Amino acid sequence: MHIGTVTRTTTPAAAGGRVIFFLLCVVTMLVPWEGTAAIPGVHTGVFFICAIALVLSVIRVVFTCKLRRVPPVFLLLVAFVTWSLVSLFWSRDESASLRAIGTYCSLLCLAWMIWEHCQSTNRLYWMLRSYVLGCVVALGLLFVNYARGVEAALPETTRYTVAGVNANTLALLLSVGVVMSVFLANNDRYARWASWLYWLLPVPAALGTLLTGSRMGVITLVVALLAGLVISWSKSMRMAFLVFLIAACLAAIVPEAIPAALIERVGEGTESEGFQLRQEQWATGLEVWSEVPLTGVGVGAFQSAVGRAGGHDIVAHNTFIQVLVENGIVGLVMMILLWGVLVWYVWRLHGQARLLWLGIFAVWVVGSTVLSLESFKITWVIYAWIIAASPLGQRASSLESTGPVHTGVILARPKS
């Protein structure tokens, strides 16, 4: 007779949930180098993985008859996507609007899946680890391109990036990874063996950012390092010293490792030709918006509308202007409300959790001033992570889960 024997059974629903979560971690890992994993002439590998995860998620919900009640902030995401869909009726470029609507719908589904399956601190940690791993892969590909002399297809000073990823976008993605890596270096007790990787990542990430030649990327990198310093300082003086040491190493390595032309380029600032071009695009975009201030020109129709008005055939390179011109005042107000609620969610967290998400959000805001990030995967993934991390989002759910929602460094209790 065996006393104290415990038999553990795994239900199909629980096993399916783990499979879906694994797929979401793979998607997260692919985000920094998504274009490299593309299938020529079709879609990126991320698209098919997300599609499989969505089908499995729907089957799991039908099979278990259990669905997490999403928090109210999700209604703002749904409202924005719905408004984008309605804008098809007055769009100045229907084909571009249809593509943009498809993108927004897929991003909304991805955000929902992360919310549905990120039910604990441990799972959220795994998503952060996956993203940092993706940054490591992206940096490896970037340095290989640099060593082989494979330049980015840009009509400017020699710059480098990863295949299928814009140089400026890659710089932003690496900056987000820097904040995460410093946070994990300070808090990841489960994967202590990886702490050296977390502490080392900011150095190659900084060198990679300089290789992209992105002026905005250098600014977001500085913001990321400052966020890392604050995170480490709140932990201990020893941790903060490591960040200072990283900065000192960068100061010593950069002049020797980075071509002088790239260093000169990132130091041009607002006097650069690229910045002047973007200012012209912003001015033309605002002129177009003034014709239809309430509704905008239709989602995805910025390039077409501004091009017809004498502007350049490029996006706004500013998230706020892009949303305003395409979705009008109505759409911009929705997004501002969303951003305000997310900041409130973050502010209700404590300690390291609050600093992590404030740091990532600060990097995103800085990047948004010179990039159109409203329909980028990283934007909606950050939305979903913040909602999943916040106890306010957890409180809004009536989930009957396979396990408890743990409170910890990320899922901390709100302030009273």
In 3D, which of 191, 91, 89 has the Cα closest to residue 133? 191
Angle at 315 between CA 27 and CA 211, to 5 degrees: 60
Question: Sign of the C-alpha dihedral, residues 67, 409, 109, 327?
Answer: positive
Determine the pLDDT at residue 309: 86
In 3D, which of 307, 296, 363, 284 has the Cα closest to residue 334? 296
Residue 96 DSSP label: H
d(CA 365, CA 373): 9
Determine the pLDDT at residue 229: 87
**Domain-by-domain residue ranges, the chain?**
12-395
Angle at 334 between CA 326 and CA 414, to 5 degrees: 145
As averages over each run of 10 residues, the pLDDT of the chain (416 residues) reads 44 78 95 79 76 91 82 92 95 94 95 90 92 95 88 71 89 95 87 77 89 88 91 78 73 69 67 75 93 94 90 88 96 95 90 92 94 94 92 48 38 41
Q: Is the whole model's pTM more than 0.85, yes or no? A: yes
d(CA 158, CA 259): 9
| Length of the chain (residues) | 416
Spatial CB neighbours of 225, under 8 Å, sequence gap ≥ 6? 178, 202, 206, 243, 246, 247
Alpha helices in 348-376 (DSSP H): 351-368
Please give the helix or strand (H or E) that residue 275 lies within, else none: helix 273-291
